[in-house]
Amino acid sequence: MAIRITGTGSYIPSIIEKNEDFYEHEFLNADGSSINSPNEVIVKKFKAITGIKERRYIKKELLNSDIAYFASQKAIEDAKIDKESIDYIIVAHNYGDVQYNTEQSDTVPSIASRVKHLLQIKNPKCVAYDLLFGCPGWIEGVIQAKAFIASGLAKRCLIIGSETLSRVIDKHDRDSMIYSDGAGAVILEENNEAGGILAHDTATFALDEAHYIYFGETNNAEITDKRRYIKMYGRKIYEFALSNVPSALKACLEKSGKSINDVKKILIHQANEKMDEAIVERFYKLYDMEMPEGIMPMSINLLGNSSVATVPTLYDLILKGQLDHQEINKGDIILFASVGAGMNINAIIYQY
């Protein structure tokens, strides 16, 4: 018996925000001072580093719980299951429901309870809860669901990663161009096929690194309201990721008993193209190997960084044949990996 993903679904918002749409923004340094470069230059440098040329935002009338529900519907349909048979609904997010043009995050009731309500699941034994774990939240949700199933506490779980970062960005911060909205979901259950989750590993670095990603006020000192936005120390995160993620991936792979040569795809959190490439290159250098071509599919160039949604969305797009020149075949060994706020790192070795 194996614990496997039997259904996937994702929701990609319809509003496309291109890099050129930021030309009219007033970008400022963290101290409020002016940046001595025209926006065209700022955006060009941004594209060269992150790989992002456009990102997706949800419509004004939608909420995070709505798009989590949309992705869930698709995963349930894909798995061909009765929604009443789901034992756990785990929703990974970080900012709850934030209505358009408002200042407050709404997390009561939980996003998971809202999704269960929208799905119209009657079964009270279907337990719904939220998971706040930074960008690695969806992977951690899968790890928790696997533990529930392995221990006999559940037979079938719905795990969702959903976020609307467009509602918590400071338009005066250059980093605002990174973030996007989206949702991805999977059904995880035990079945008779081989493979599934072979190994997993998680770590939290919080002694010095806990506040590398945080909530802070706008860069514009003339704005006096107390609304806060997602902020980060980009250079520190980059150095942290390159120093710690490759060895974490190696430890997880060794747990699985599989060889580096068995790995067919690495689905890593779509945070920053240059950073992700550097992480995977260093991972292969630990084995005195060059990074294989095509090993790391990317969606960030068109979808941006949607936090917890990037990995499940990427997986769904590949399985549905919607990512050019990428496919996953029966028996393939896949490495899911993420790094993010907390600072948390996690990984799963999975056999499709």
209 and 137 co-located in one domain: no
Cα-based distances in Å from 157 to 62, 120, 132, 290, 329: 25, 16, 18, 37, 24
Domain-ending residue, one of 162, 194, 226: 194
Interatomic CA distance for residues 45 and 67, integer angstroms: 31
Interatomic CA distance for residues 36 and 4, integer angstroms: 52
118 and 144 co-located in one domain: yes
What is the token pair recorded at 72? 């869930």
Interatomic CA distance for residues 169 and 229, integer angstroms: 5
79 and 124 co-located in one domain: yes
217 and 158 co-located in one domain: no
Interatomic CA distance for residues 179 and 221, integer angstroms: 22
Q: Which pLDDT score is estimated for 3?
A: 96
229 and 127 co-located in one domain: no
H-assigned helices in the chain: 39-50, 64-79, 111-119, 137-150, 234-256, 273-285, 300-303, 310-319
131 and 215 co-located in one domain: no
Q: Which pLDDT score is estimated for 124?
A: 97
Strand pairing class (333-340; 344-351): antiparallel
Q: Which long-range contacts (CB under 8 A, 24 or more apart) does 297-300 make?
A: 297/265, 297/267, 297/323, 297/326, 298/51, 298/270, 298/273, 299/270, 299/323, 300/50, 300/51, 300/52, 300/270, 300/271, 300/272, 300/273, 300/276
270 and 190 co-located in one domain: no
- The enclosing domain of 252 has a CATH number of 3.40.47.10
Domain-ending residue, one of 137, 167, 194: 194
Q: What residues make up the domain containing 339?
A: 198-351
255 and 317 co-located in one domain: yes
Strand pairing class (88-92; 156-164): parallel
216 and 159 co-located in one domain: no
Residues 6+ apart with CB under 8 A from 172: 25, 26, 27, 28, 218, 219, 220
Domain-ending residue, one of 174, 194, 214: 194
209 and 227 co-located in one domain: yes
58 and 95 co-located in one domain: yes
Q: Which pLDDT score is estimated for 346?
A: 97
Tell me which residue of 84, 91, 89, 83 sits closest to 127, measured CA to CA.
Answer: 89
88 and 202 co-located in one domain: no
Give 10-residue mean pLDDT values along the chain (352 residues): 95 95 84 83 89 95 97 98 98 95 88 98 98 97 97 96 94 90 97 92 95 84 76 91 95 96 96 93 96 94 96 97 92 96 96 96
Is 340 in a helix, a strand, or coil? Answer: strand
Q: Which pLDDT score is estimated for 223?
A: 77
| Number of domains present in the structure of the chain | 2
